[in-house]
């Protein structure tokens, strides 16, 4: 009997080991990140678990939500870990959230003290945290150092948006546009000015007048010739880099850390050494003080699917990716993003000069701006708001076919139906 019992226990242990040996299924919403995560798996095997295995699947930014929705609904081959952009995360907040609530795990591991406080609740809602942000996603102004020199303009000359407009008008008279315009700028600038698309109570456009003023300012940039709409009206389309950027049509573009590390370096390699980085110009507030000099928009995070049979194993790997200094630095050096993990900022590889950005200390700029980074108010309607403005209102606003007031009114009405 004792021998039989030992045999049964042995079978159970083998079964458990077999279950634990099942590879994790990790879905990534960026083909650029696939290489990074394949390397992260190797690092994890070397540092933590030599028997660890994971299958990395990469999907497009817009493709991911559809794939994930089908997998969850049909319960057919869903991922254990999924990488989502913060904008798309709101899609999953309308009903039961399909991700593991991580607040307790985060506190137990001390990550609540290691992730930048403004970014920690990014993948959360109503006091619960479901994911961890990988990027700082701090906004800066990228500018052409070679063209600035030719035109005799310096970053100090445009330290406020008022001075930016002043010099933009002067350059326009010389036939030079200053800024490429993009629909994401509305949310970026609104947040830089201290507001957001929603407040914590779910109110749409909590400061309506500020939203109208921001839209008016963007429209006027285009109509005054200071700003220019890229081909296909997006600074994220490869066509933009081949036309507006390479030709010198524009001097500046607003973008996050990942925009510079990934897109500028990928699509404008011939401009190595000719890009500079500076904080966003500041807004002059009503009391005479200056606003923060950064903002935020978009950024990837890691979440664990609630239906996973390997939640603890998923958390262990996710925790490693988020907390290991070398893993964070490799993500930065690989052209992905600047990490939200504060202890990693002390690594000299983060702070070193970057030849692509005119030998500036690229990482140091983001370390210095991090305390000014605003929080993002998450709401289930945020994806609808972002894409509604982008697809239905931006171009019409820029060309004067609709007023800023009417944009806000129609967006309110549309979002009330969600």
DSSP string, 327-349: HHHHHHHTTS--BSBGGGGGSHH
Residue 291 and residue 319 in one domain:
no
410 falls within a domain: yes
What would the mean pLDDT of 381-393 be, rounded to a whole number? 95
pLDDT tens sequence across 271-325: 999 999 999 999 998 888 999 999 999 999 999 999 999 999 999 999 999 999 9
Is pLDDT at 182 greater than 70 in this prediction? yes
Cβ neighbours for 133, distance < 8 A, ≥ 6 positions apart? 86, 115, 119, 120, 122, 123, 299, 300, 301, 340
Contact (CB, 8 A) for 50 and 339: no
Bigger pLDDT: 231 vs 159: 159
pLDDT band (50, 70, 90) for residue 30: confident
148 located within any domain: yes
- CB burial of residue 112 (10 Å; 0-12, 13-18, 19+): middle
The reply to whether 129 and 227 lie within a common domain is no
> 61-101 pLDDT, tens per residue?
778 888 898 998 888 889 999 999 999 999 899 889 999 99
* The pLDDT value given to residue 280: 98
Supply φ then ψ for residue 356, to 5 degrees: -65, -35
247 and 333 assigned to the same domain: no
Percent of the chain with pLDDT over 70: 95
Euclidean distance between CA atoms 327 and 120, whole angstroms: 19
Based on the domain organization, do 200 and 266 belong to the same domain? yes
Predicted pLDDT at 143: 98
Helices 208-223 and 404-415: angle between axes, nearest 10 degrees: 130
| pLDDT over threshold 90, residue 7 | no
pLDDT at 5 over 60: no
Name the pTM for this structure: 0.92
Q: Residue 110, Cα to own-chain centre: how many angstroms?
A: 23
Residues 6 or more apart whose CB falls under 8 angstroms from that of 293 comprise: 279, 280, 281, 282, 369, 372
Host domain of residue 27: 23-135+298-346
Domain-embedded: residue 15? no
Bridge partners (DSSP) listed for residue 128:
125
pLDDT confidence of residue 16: 43
> How many residues in total does the chain contain?
418
Across 144-173, b (16+ Cβ under 10 Å) vs e yields: bbebbeeeebeeeebbbbeebbebbeebbe
In the chain, how many domains are there? 2
pLDDT confidence band for 33 (50 / 70 / 90): confident
Smallest CA-to-CA distance from 129 within 102, 89, 107, 92 is with 102
Q: Which helix (H) or strand (E) holds 408?
A: helix 404-415
Residues 6+ apart with CB under 8 A from 156: none
Are residues 266 and 408 both part of a single domain? yes
Same domain, 128 and 41: yes
Q: Which of 306, 326, 346 delimits the end of a domain? A: 346
209: pLDDT strictly greater than 70: yes
CATH of the domain at 83: 3.40.190.10
């Amino acid at each position: 009997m004792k021998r039989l019992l030992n045999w049964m226990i042995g079978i159970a242990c083998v079964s458990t080991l077999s279950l634990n040996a099942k590879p994790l299924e990790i879905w990534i919403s960026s083909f650029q990140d696939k290489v990074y995560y394949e390397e992260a798996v190797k690092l994890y095997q070397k540092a933590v678990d030599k028997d660890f295995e994971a299958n990395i699947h990469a999907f497009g930014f817009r493709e991911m939500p559809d794939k994930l929705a089908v997998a969850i609904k049909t319960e057919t081959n869903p991922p254990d870990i999924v990488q989502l952009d913060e904008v798309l995360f709101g899609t999953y907040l309308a009903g039961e959230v399909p991700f593991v609530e991580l607040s307790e795990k985060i506190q137990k591991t001390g990550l609540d003290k290691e992730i930048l406080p403004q970014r920690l609740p990014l993948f959360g809602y109503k006091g619960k945290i479901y994911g961890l942000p990988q990027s700082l996603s701090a906004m800066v102004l990228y500018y052409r150092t070679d063209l600035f020199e030719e035109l005799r303009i310096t970053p100090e000359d445009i330290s406020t948006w008022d001075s930016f407009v002043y010099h933009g008008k002067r350059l326009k008279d010389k036939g030079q546009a200053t800024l490429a315009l993009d629909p994401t700028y509305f949310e970026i600038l609104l947040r830089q000015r201290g507001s957001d698309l929603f407040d914590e109570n779910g109110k749409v456009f909590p400061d309506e007048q500020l939203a109208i003023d921001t839209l008016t300012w963007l429209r006027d940039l285009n109509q005054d010739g200071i700003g220019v709409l890229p081909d296909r009206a997006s600074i994220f389309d490869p066509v933009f880099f081949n036309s507006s950027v390479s030709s010198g049509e524009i001097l500046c573009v607003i973008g996050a850390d990942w925009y510079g590390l990934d897109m500028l370096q990928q699509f404008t390699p011939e401009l190595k050494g000719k890009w500079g980085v500076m904080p966003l110009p500041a807004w002059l507030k009503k009391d005479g003080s200056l606003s923060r000099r950064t903002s935020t928009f978009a950024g990837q995070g890691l979440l664990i699917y609630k239906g996973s049979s390997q939640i603890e194993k998923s958390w262990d790997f996710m925790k490693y990716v988020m907390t290991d200094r070398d893993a964070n630095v490799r993500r930065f050096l690989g052209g992905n993003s600047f990490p939200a993990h504060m202890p990693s900022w002390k690594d000299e590889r983060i702070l070193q000069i970057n030849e692509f950005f005119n030998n500036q200390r690229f990482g140091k700029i983001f370390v210095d701006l991090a305390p000014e980074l605003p929080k993002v108010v998450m709401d289930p309607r945020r994806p609808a708001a972002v894409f509604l403005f982008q697809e239905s209102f931006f171009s019409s606003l820029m060309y004067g076919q609709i007023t800023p007031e009417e944009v806000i009114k129609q967006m309110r009405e549309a979002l009330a139906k969600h």
